[in-house]
Copies of this chain bind each other. A is one copy, B any other.
Amino acid sequence: MLSALDLARRIEAGTLTPVEVVEACAAAIAKREQEIGAFAVLDIENARQRALEPALRSLPLRGLPVGIKDIFDTADLPTHYGSQIYAGYQPRSDAAMVTLVRRAGGIKLGKTVTTEFASLEPAATRNPRNPAHTPGGSSSGSAAGVAAGMVPIAIGSQTGGSVIRPAAYCGVAGFKPSFRMLPTVGMKCFSWSLDTVGLFAAGVADVAFAAQAISGRELRIDQAQPQAPTIALVRSRAWPEASPDMQHAVEDAATRAERAGAKLIALELPEAIEQATSVHAIVQNYEAFRALAFEYDNHREELGPILRAQLDEAAAITADTYDDARRVARRARQAFANLMSDVSIILTPSAPGAAPPGLNSTGLPTFNKLWTLLGAPCVNVPGLLDREGLPLGIQAVGRFARDRMTLEAACFLEGVVSQ
């Protein structure tokens, strides 16, 4: 994999050029893209041209290539949202994230594959760690592209578990920031209360570097001496759905963290928080039935069967049911803020286990939906493998707006599990 931070430092030091980085990406793409299918559209020629601009070197992203999930509009590249309904669609303008990446000195390398409208409907992308397995979804191409060394940074989005799960399955760092830290403007909407822009990179310090460069917030953790965090091991109600390997990975990480100086506590989620898990689908689907109203009313037969059935069911959700669900979510957010007052992060699985075999499913957002609903910052910590050599991702979940603390604690965990 390409470490964004390492590349940026070398460009800054003058020992590497943005052109050389683009060529390294192009070489990895030439080698593996046919098998993996991480990109919906490539833009390597334009990237080569832009890499020549001298101004890039003094901008935060230093001319690093970035993959853009094909759920974000691009003014100069077709945008399909993973749906045949948008075949040949060329937006008029860039999504906010695309312009922010450019403002920060990033180079758009191409559009990465998304599942259909970022839903659970699988795409054709394969997992670079084992191409017989799913890379997860919906940010399938962003996770796979980073994992295959094709691009050092990729943009994704999460409504259920679409950043953290594919990051876990592909063995890369994934960062879902606090709700609305990064703008969703120009991103195809699935659920306006849940859609969250996220980032992928090789390691936690890389993803923190990218997040700072794009957001302008103090999120870099590579220059700090991180304090040992207070880690709450949470075996939520979903815990039995984690594989034995995953349960062991989380518990082992906790033990190692404690040995390395972290304060470890066991935490039980109060009912006000646990019950919010079940309302995620109500909020998501009520909104999706409206956000995708045009597509559902005019192109229902062109939707994939999973999404079509989901929207068929969503039509029956009443405003009262939706309002009740939002009230449950609001109370859970308050309870979560209180719960986290003395805790740096919650440690919990990123996914039920390693990437499942086959491409018929992108896996389950069991360990992600709650935190998305709470708007809490989440980081997939890479570095662990199961007995078959597939990545096992563990997750650091922080309090809303404590993105930096969450990244620091995730970096601490990454350090202890890799030893």
Contact = CB atoms under 8 A, between A and B. Distances in A.
A323 interface: yes
Contact of A93 (B98, B294, B319): B294
B184 A293 contact: no
Given A319-B217, A401-B323, A185 B290 contact: yes
A285 to B, nearest CB: 14
B186 A96 contact: no
Contacts of A293: 94, 96, 99-100, 103
Residue among A102, A287, A293 having the largest count of chain B Cβ atoms under 10 Å: A293
Nearest to A326: B401
Interface in A84-108: 86, 89, 91-96, 98-100, 102-103
A189 B93 CA distance: 12
Contacts of A298: 75, 99
Interface in A197-218: 215-217
Nearest to A189: B185
A291 B185 contact: yes
Nearest to A92: B89
Interface residues of A, number: 37
A271 interface: no
Given A183-B192, A184-B192, A323-B401, A291 B216 contact: no
Given A99-B293, A100-B290, A183-B287, 17 more contacts: A86-B92, A89-B92, A91-B92, A94-B294, A95-B294, A96-B291, A96-B293, A98-B294, A99-B297, A99-B298, A180-B193, A183-B290, A184-B192, A185-B192, A216-B318, A216-B319, A323-B401
Interface string A263-301: 000000000000000000000000100110111011000
Contacts of A92: 86, 89, 91
A119 to B, nearest CB: 15
B401 A294 contact: no
Interface in A60-94: 75, 86, 89, 91-94
Interface string A140-166: 000000000000000000000000000
Contact of A192 (B180, B215, B217): B180
Nearest to A327: B401
B99 A215 contact: no
Contacts of A294: 75, 93-96, 98-99, 186
B295 A93 contact: yes
Nearest to A93: B294
Which of A95, A184, A185, A298 lies at the interface centre, i.e. has the most chain B CB atoms within 10 A of its CB?
A: A185
